[in-house]
């Protein structure tokens, strides 16, 4: 196969091509070798393929092309792209009324090209279309899509555009069908011309003189009949297609006309609007120009307006900020301690003012006035999105919306935990932000609810910095909540006369008489007895004078430990008052419950009737607070019982002996059994 390339040589080879793989492969490699003549090669191949009427030979030519496009990648990859358009058109051509051999081969080839990624996706789509189009246009004439009923009053733009596009598509298909119509088939016409005149001219029949002449004419007629029948049939089909094309063109014209009308109408509308706007603008300008010149008529307008702070007394926040700033920049030493004490007292006073309900805005806030119920109340306080609602939903039967964005919860949502026979109310609150103590967000309402709780669960995100805890603590501190502290042992009794009497029962290292006096004067207290029973700081003293501090136990609950390292979990878990959990992975939740119970320090006391054994079931007994006495127990049982009380007999750890007779002030312990004897 080392012949020099020439069109004649190629034609020769194509003529000798068989369906044997060797024949196809050797010609294919010869074509690839001569790929520099690709234009000529493709022209010859396509001409051959188009004019070929033998299905088996068309298949051979297609197989040859297949071999070329698959194997030309290394030597001349462009060859495949040059082959593509002719391949597409031959496929389109062959797919019309294909004999069974070609019908089998075409989809197979396209499938192989798709699997081996011979052609790009878009090229493959075009080949798919070519296959489909061939099929759809197999039946003359091309089906005409119906003309949509587009009434002129309500033309729909999208529908019109779609129709026009569809029309164009159909016209293209029809034109393709008419590309090589039977009426232009030269060979057939030449062949028809070679038939004797007698076959097309009935008058010639009259010239027949004998049977031999008649037989001659009949012979010619019989020879011409199949060709003429077939040609007439095809011409008829072509005529139908042409009529169809005419119909399609009419539809297109109508649709395009509707489109134009629609756009003209739109243009008229827009122009009308523009005119209206222009006239409005003129009116506005006229009105504007006729406005009086206020600068000229009222000279007072040019005077500067009063400052906002002079209009409203918004001083408290500013004063607080000012004092905080001053405290922070004052050095702590002997010389400044009185000044600092004074500043701290002032700060406490202003903060108090800020928290006092002020007319309209002082209400509790809608959604926050949840009834206190059960034996104890636990409030969850924390920054947004730390998992408070998730915890409520997992620990109680109440569902609280939880989501990955901040401020999902906007009101107070109560749930109940049943543990050790006690009903513990758990409150889910909105997340608070820095500045909550000054009313930012829903801070004030949240803090107001938190103050009513017996235990605070400070929810923190284990994945965030330790600073979050300090920030939250500062917010709660600022509103008078003291966490995990007990009230200072300071006695202050205001009097009417007699001046200030200051004593202390322990040596004081943080305060002295002068400092105490300064603070008292700031509060305008000039007559009082003050006794320090422990070595307290001036802040603690101010707390006592303010008298409205709330001392609450607090558990720092670090959630989302599934997101941090085990070392970090270990570090957090070891710190005092800390519990680490993961609500989502349900980690350590039982321990949290135990801790809540421990921190609430509830006392469960079983009652016993004389002569009967006590009921010690899970639901029996009464729940009291830590430090509850027999009197509290009486009140819990019946409101008249304390008045009728004579004595009680107690079994348990609160007494020296078991049982022991005790008075009404006796302190009860957890799991004591009590029998009350009435008068
Ligand atoms: N990885 C992890 N994600 C959690 C855990 N607990 C809660 N979350 C996710 O944290 C997101 C916030 O949870 P919420 O329960 O809505 O938080 P919230 O504190 O109630 O938030 P606010 O109502 O906006 O104050 C949600 O997408 C939870 O799925 C946990 O243990 N681990
Ligand atoms: Mg929430």
Per-residue model confidence (pLDDT) at position 146: 44
Q: Is residue 222 part of a domain?
A: yes
Per-residue model confidence (pLDDT) at position 412: 87
Closest CA to 417 of 428, 406, 407: 428
Query: Of 570, 598, 626, which residue sits at a domain end?
Result: 598
pLDDT digits (tens, 9 = 90+) for 163-183: 888 889 889 988 988 888 888
Number of structural domains found in the chain: 4
Q: Which atom of ligand 1 is nearest to the CA of 585?
A: 31
Is residue 589 scored above 60 in pLDDT? yes
How many angstroms separate the alpha carbon of residue 151 from the centre of ligand 2?
57
Q: Is 406 close to ligand 1, i.e. is its CB under 6 Å away?
A: yes
Residues 66 and 100: their CA atoms lie apart, in Å, by 19
How many angstroms separate the alpha carbon of residue 548 from the centre of ligand 2?
29
Burial 394-412 (b: 16+ CB within 10 A, else e): ebbeeebebeeeeebbebb
Closest CA to 243 of 127, 131, 144: 144
Shared domain for 162 and 242, answered yes or no, is yes
Q: Is 386 close to ligand 1, i.e. is its CB under 6 Å away?
A: yes
Write the residue with the smallest CA distance to atom 11 of ligand 1. Answer: 404
Shared domain for 125 and 37, answered yes or no, is yes
pLDDT band at 591 (very low <50, low <70, confident <90, very high): very high
Q: Is 198 close to ligand 1, i.e. is its CB under 6 Å away?
A: no
pLDDT digits (tens, 9 = 90+) for 310-369: 444 456 777 778 888 888 888 877 778 888 888 888 888 777 666 555 444 444 456 677
Shared domain for 222 and 251, answered yes or no, is yes
How many angstroms separate the alpha carbon of residue 408 from the centre of ligand 1?
9
Per-residue model confidence (pLDDT) at position 296: 52
pLDDT band at 156 (very low <50, low <70, confident <90, very high): low
Q: Is 411 close to ligand 1, i.e. is its CB under 6 Å away?
A: no
Q: Is residue 529 part of a domain?
A: no
Question: Which residues sit opposite 379 in a β-bridge?
Answer: 427, 456
Shared domain for 29 and 175, answered yes or no, is no
Q: Is residue 126 part of a domain?
A: yes
CATH number at residue 559: 3.40.50.300
Token digits of residue 596: 């809540």
CATH number at residue 622: 3.10.20.30
Residues 291 and 296: their CA atoms lie apart, in Å, by 12
CATH number at residue 38: 1.25.40.90
Query: Of 136, 165, 194, which residue sits at a domain end?
Result: 136
How many angstroms separate the alpha carbon of residue 14 from the centre of ligand 1?
75
How many angstroms separate the alpha carbon of residue 617 from the centre of ligand 2?
36
How many angstroms separate the alpha carbon of residue 587 from the centre of ligand 1?
14
Q: Is 441 close to ligand 1, i.e. is its CB under 6 Å away?
A: no
pLDDT band at 1 (very low <50, low <70, confident <90, very high): low
Ligand nearest to the CA of 589: 1
Q: Is residue 290 part of a domain?
A: no
Per-residue model confidence (pLDDT) at position 355: 59
Q: Is residue 337 part of a domain?
A: no
Q: Please give the distance of CA 337 from its chain centroid, rounded to a whole number.
A: 55
Q: Is 413 close to ligand 1, i.e. is its CB under 6 Å away?
A: no
Residues 305 and 297: their CA atoms lie apart, in Å, by 18
Q: Is 409 close to ligand 1, i.e. is its CB under 6 Å away?
A: yes
Closest CA to 56 of 85, 96, 20, 110: 20
Mutation choice for ligand 1 from 387, 461, 557, CB with most ligand atoms inside 8 A: 387
Shared domain for 633 and 564, answered yes or no, is no
Query: Of 251, 271, 291, which residue sits at a domain end?
Result: 271
Per-residue model confidence (pLDDT) at position 455: 92
Shared domain for 76 and 211, answered yes or no, is no
Q: Which atom of ligand 1 is nearest to the CA of 386?
A: 19
How many angstroms separate the alpha carbon of residue 329 from the centre of ligand 1?
39
Shared domain for 591 and 447, answered yes or no, is yes
pLDDT digits (tens, 9 = 90+) for 622-640: 888 888 899 998 988 888 8
Shared domain for 371 and 447, answered yes or no, is yes
Q: Which atom of ligand 1 is nearest to the CA of 402?
A: 16
Write the residue with the smallest CA distance to atom 16 of ligand 1. Answer: 402
Ligand nearest to the CA of 391: 1
Per-residue model confidence (pLDDT) at position 133: 67
Mutation choice for ligand 1 from 402, 457, 579, CB with most ligand atoms inside 8 A: 402
Cα→Cα distances 59→16, 130, 170, 525, 584, Å: 14, 17, 29, 114, 66
Ligand nearest to the CA of 561: 1
How many angstroms separate the alpha carbon of residue 185 from the centre of ligand 1?
80
Q: Which atom of ligand 1 is nearest to the CA of 583?
A: 31
Per-residue model confidence (pLDDT) at position 582: 93
How many angstroms separate the alpha carbon of residue 461 from the centre of ligand 1?
9
pLDDT band at 117 (very low <50, low <70, confident <90, very high): confident
Shared domain for 104 and 248, answered yes or no, is no
Q: Is 388 close to ligand 1, i.e. is its CB under 6 Å away?
A: yes
Shared domain for 196 and 111, answered yes or no, is no
Residues 409 and 277: their CA atoms lie apart, in Å, by 48
Q: Is 393 close to ligand 1, i.e. is its CB under 6 Å away?
A: no
Token digits of residue 212: 């031999």
Q: Mean pLDDT lowest for which of 114-118, 370-374, 390-394?
A: 370-374
Q: Is 430 close to ligand 1, i.e. is its CB under 6 Å away?
A: yes
Pairing state between β 422-428 and 376-382? parallel
Is residue 28 scored above 80 in pLDDT? yes
Q: Is residue 361 part of a domain?
A: yes
pLDDT digits (tens, 9 = 90+) for 68-103: 988 888 888 888 888 888 888 888 777 766 778 888
The proportion of the chain whose per-residue pLDDT surpasses 90, expressed as a percent, equals: 19
Q: Which atom of ligand 1 is nearest to the CA of 391?
A: 15
Per-residue model confidence (pLDDT) at position 297: 47
Is residue 403 scored above 60 in pLDDT? yes
Is residue 203 scored above 60 in pLDDT? yes
Output the average pLDDT for the chain: 82
Mean pLDDT computed over 585-590: 91
Q: Which atom of ligand 1 is nearest to the CA of 405?
A: 24
Most confident of 221-235, 306-320, 436-450, 551-565: 551-565
Sign of CA dihedral 302, 304, 308, 310: negative
How many angstroms separate the alpha carbon of residue 560 from the centre of ligand 1?
8
Is residue 379 scored above 90 in pLDDT? yes
Shared domain for 168 and 243, answered yes or no, is yes
What domain range is 477 assigned to?
357-487+549-598
Burial 16-28 (b: 16+ CB within 10 A, else e): ebeeeeebbeebb
Q: Is 583 close to ligand 1, i.e. is its CB under 6 Å away?
A: yes
Write the residue with the smallest CA distance to atom 24 of ligand 1. Answer: 407
Shared domain for 444 and 569, answered yes or no, is yes
Closest CA to 469 of 578, 348, 591, 362: 578
Q: Is residue 636 part of a domain?
A: yes
Cα→Cα distances 292→244, 287, 288, 295, 301, Å: 74, 10, 9, 9, 14
Q: Is 563 close to ligand 1, i.e. is its CB under 6 Å away?
A: yes
Pairing state between β 455-461 and 673-678? unpaired
Mean pLDDT computed over 647-673: 91
Q: Is residue 54 part of a domain?
A: yes
């Amino acid at each position: 196969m080392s012949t020099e390339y020439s069109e004649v040589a190629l034609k020769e080879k194509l003529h000798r091509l068989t369906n044997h793989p060797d024949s196809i492969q050797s010609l294919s490699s010869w074509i690839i070798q001569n790929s520099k003549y690709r234009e000529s090669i493709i022209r010859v191949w396509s001409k051959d393929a188009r004019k070929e009427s033998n299905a088996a030979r068309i298949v051979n030519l297609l197989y040859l092309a297949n071999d070329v496009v698959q194997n030309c990648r290394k030597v001349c990859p462009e060859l495949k792209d040059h082959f593509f358009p002719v391949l597409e058109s031959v496929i389109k051509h062959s797919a019309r009324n294909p004999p069974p051999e070609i019908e089998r081969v075409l989809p197979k080839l396209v499938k192989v090209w798709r699997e081996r990624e011979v052609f790009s996706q878009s090229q493959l789509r075009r080949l798919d279309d070519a296959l489909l189009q061939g099929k759809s246009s197999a039946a003359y004439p091309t089906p005409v899509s119906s003309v949509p009923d587009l009434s002129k009053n309500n033309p729909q733009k999208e529908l019109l555009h779609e129709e026009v596009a569809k029309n164009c598509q159909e016209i293209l298909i029809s034109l393709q069908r008419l590309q090589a119509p039977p009426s232009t088939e030269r060979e057939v016409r030449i062949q028809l011309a070679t038939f004797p005149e007698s076959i097309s001219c009935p008058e010639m029949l009259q010239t027949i003189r004998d049977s031999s002449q008649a037989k001659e004419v009949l012979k010619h007629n019989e020879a011409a009949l199949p060709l003429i029948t077939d040609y007439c049939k095809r011409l008829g089909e072509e005529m139908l297609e042409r009529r169809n094309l005419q119909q399609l063109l009419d539809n297109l014209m109508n649709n395009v006309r509707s489109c134009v009308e629609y756009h003209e109408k739109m243009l008229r509308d827009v122009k009308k609007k523009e005119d209206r706007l222009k006239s409005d603008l003129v009116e506005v300008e006229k009105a504007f120009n006729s406005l009086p010149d206020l600068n000229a008529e009222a000279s007072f307008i040019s005077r500067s307006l009063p400052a906002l702070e002079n209009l409203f007394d918004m001083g408290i926040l500013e004063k607080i900020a000012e004092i905080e700033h001053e405290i922070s920049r004052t050095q702590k030493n002997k010389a400044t301690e009185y000044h600092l004490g004074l500043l701290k007292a002032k700060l406490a006073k202003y903060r108090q003012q800020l928290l006092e309900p002020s007319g309209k805005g002082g209400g509790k806030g809608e959604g926050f006035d949840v009834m206190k119920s059960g034996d104890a109340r636990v409030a969850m306080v924390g920054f947004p999105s730390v998992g408070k609602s998730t915890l409520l939903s997992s620990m109680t039967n109440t569902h609280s919306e939880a989501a990955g964005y901040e401020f999902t919860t906007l009101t107070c949502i109560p749930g109940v935990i049943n543990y050790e026979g006690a009903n513990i109310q758990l409150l889910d609150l909105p997340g608070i932000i820095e500045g909550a103590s000054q009313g930012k967000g829903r801070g004030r309402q949240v803090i107001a609810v938190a103050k009513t709780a017996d235990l605070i669960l400070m929810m923190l995100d284990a994945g965030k910095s330790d600073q979050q805890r300090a920030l939250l603590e500062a917010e709660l501190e600022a509103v008078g909540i003291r966490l995990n502290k007990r009230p200072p042992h300071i006695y202050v009794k205001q009097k009417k006369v007699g001046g200030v009497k200051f004593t202390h029962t322990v040596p004081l290292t943080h305060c002295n008489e002068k400092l105490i006096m300064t603070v008292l004067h700031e509060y305008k207290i000039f007559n009082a007895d003050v006794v320090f029973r422990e070595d307290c700081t001036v802040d603690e003293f101010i707390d006592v004078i303010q008298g409205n501090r709330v001392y609450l136990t607090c558990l720092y609950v670090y959630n989302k430990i599934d997101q941090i390292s085990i070392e970090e979990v270990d570090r957090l878990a070891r710190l005092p008052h800390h519990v680490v959990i993961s609500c989502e992975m349900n980690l350590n939740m039982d321990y949290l419950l135990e801790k809540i119970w421990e921190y609430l320090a509830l006392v469960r006391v079983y009652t016993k009737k004389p002569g009967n054994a006590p009921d010690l079931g899970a639901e029996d007994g009464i729940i009291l607070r830590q430090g509850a006495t027999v009197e509290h127990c009486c009140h819990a049982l019946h409101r008249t019982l304390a008045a009728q009380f004579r004595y009680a007999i107690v079994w348990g750890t609160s007494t020296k002996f078991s049982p022991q007779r005790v008075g009404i002030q006796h302190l009860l312990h957890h799991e004591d059994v009590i029998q009350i004897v009435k008068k």
